[in-house]
Structure 1
Amino acid sequence: MGDNQKGLNDLLKWSIQNSTQPTATAAAAQPNGDASTQEDPTGAVAAAAARGLNPESLKALFGGPSDADLMLAAMAHIRSTDPEVTLESKLTAFDNLEQLIESLDNANLLSKLGLWTPLLELLAHEESEIRLMACWVVGTAVQNNEPSQERLVALGGVERLAAMALGDRLTADGARDESKADKETKDVRRKAVYALSSACRNYQPSMDVLTSELSKRGEGKGEKIDATDMEAVNVVIDALRAQAQNA
């Protein structure tokens, strides 16, 4: 891992650890009247230094890392195998990523940064909370966003989401995991339906793949659904949502 990426990962970890810490704690680390108090009125520098954040990470913090840097750091944190990286911190990083890609420009950065493949692989993560967040991020990224909808189709994401919505557990490459006796959880299935709803509305290729997948599973008749006909799309999505809810 390069020094710059390590610094960003340190920054992300620090941000997660301190996301709920009051600034008064940081300010208490400085003596009254010290010149540094004037330069750092919130005490953020002192708090960061006290937690061992290195100068490069401090520079990234106060120099303003780009959204692209933060997205890369978030994904690296989520996929980390470091035992000190907790599930809670990974979920926080995922939440940060989801908020970043609410911006259309950032959603389209997923492709440029090579993040679509690892994101879709996380649909098969062992932790259900991670799978749920992966569905959520996909749904946010493709909502009213044709370039991202196109990328999802190209990478086989619609097939994966359809399988999850119907209760399948997946392998990292998107196939049905025959080794998993348990079905997908209700919450994850519902979030997969949300992602499919975002992916298929007003984008015909996604709608065609979904109806084809449902037909293969004996769900629906495989008839062509107009992706711009919201009532027709709702019939398909509502049926999936009802199945997930009643699972």
Structure 2
Amino acid sequence: MEKNLNQLLKWSIEAQAAASAGQSHHSHGTSSPGASNNGPATGTGAVATSPAPQATGPGPRPIDPEVLASLFGGPSEAELMKAAMEVITDPSPETTLENKLIAFDNFEQLIENLDNANLLEKLDLWSPLLSLLEHEDEDMRFHAAWCVGTAVQNNEKTQERLLAMGGVPKLVDLAMKEGESEKVRRKATYALSSAVRNYQPAMDVAAEEMHKRGHEVLVNNGTKVDAADMDKVDEVIEHLRGKAKAEAKAEATAA
């Protein structure tokens, strides 16, 4: 709060300085020698007066909305994240699936911000998020995988946390699960792609889990898949996507 008050104080000082500068320009405007105090001058000696010069230069910087929110009772983004997850995981029938999915959309937008994604651990939101990968509703599983992928994209800190929480095997299971919808499998594959790129520990665990399920593309002369080799990672991910598409097509044909 002290930091926010200091920001607000600085903004207030800048605003007052800009206002004072404008008043100073106005009060020091020059009057014409031929001007009369009793009314407008006329005749050959009349000189038209010019408007007072306007203040120039940058005005005060716009104040950060987060500062105003914290000062005047508005929810912080961390509080919005927690509130969204409360809606998403609310078991009461009054909270509809539609409302849960709206909350999921809001949650995903919030964790696009790297700092907010890093707050997942501090706010104890990893456990409920990962549990939703096993939700009975297809759309809920889809959005859970989407949020996981967003949270770990280009972020080693959250990649590490996902691995520590056992999330990588969950994503592999969802991405390769027979009978799962193609859209959920593809979104889980996206999340897995984000989880393993440039993070070797997650790539090693994912490789082991996929090999257990017959993902032979991971075998390359007995060497590990290099998490920093984007072409090789793409090969693994495309294999998963192709497998999901082929199995979905086979199921549709059989039905």
TM-score, length-scaled by structure 1: 0.68
Give the equivalent residue in structure 1 for 2:183. Answer: 187
Q: 1 CA distance for matches of 2:205 and 2:180? A: 21
Q: What's the secondary structure of 2:183's corresponding residue?
A: helix
Q: 1 CA distance for matches of 2:226 and 2:215? A: 17
Give the equivalent residue in structure 2 for 1:88. Answer: 98
Give the equivalent residue in structure 2 for 1:230. Answer: 230
Which amino acid in 2 is paired with 1:198?
S
Gaps of 5+ in 1: 1-58, 169-182
List 4+ stretches of structure 1 deviating above 4 A. none
Alignment of 1:139-178 (within 5 A): 139-167=149-177
Deviation track 1:158-202 (CA, whole Å, cap 9, x = no partner) reads: 10000111115xxxxxxxxxxxxxx21111000000000100100
Q: Which of the residues 124, 135, 146 maps onto 2:145?
A: 135
Offset at 1:82? Answer: 1.5
Give the equivalent residue in structure 2 for 1:202. Answer: 198
**Identity rate, percent:** 59
Q: Which of the residues 201, 211, 218 maps onto 2:214?
A: 218
Q: 2 CA distance for matches of 1:76 and 1:89? A: 11
Q: 1 CA distance for matches of 2:97 and 2:158? A: 27
Offset at 1:63? Answer: 3.1
Which structure ranks higher in relative contact order (CA pairs < 8 Å, sequence separation ≥ 6)?
A: 1
Q: 2 CA distance for matches of 1:135 and 1:84? A: 25
Q: Which of the residues 56, 77, 94 maps onto 1:67?
A: 77
Q: Is 1:242–2:252 an aligned residue pair?
A: no
Which amino acid in 1 is paired with 2:211?
S
Q: 2 CA distance for matches of 1:127 and 1:214? A: 24
Q: 2 CA distance for matches of 1:191 and 1:81? A: 24
Give the equivalent residue in structure 1 for 2:114. Answer: 104
Q: 2 CA distance for matches of 1:218 and 1:197? A: 18
Which amino acid in 2 is paired with 1:78?
I
Which amino acid in 2 is paired with 1:137?
C
State how many pairs are aligned: 174
Offset at 1:115? Answer: 0.3
Give the equivalent residue in structure 2 for 1:5. Answer: none
Offset at 1:218? Answer: 1.6
Alignment of 1:38-57 (within 5 A): none
Offset at 1:96? Answer: 0.1
Q: 2 CA distance for matches of 1:203 and 1:192? A: 17
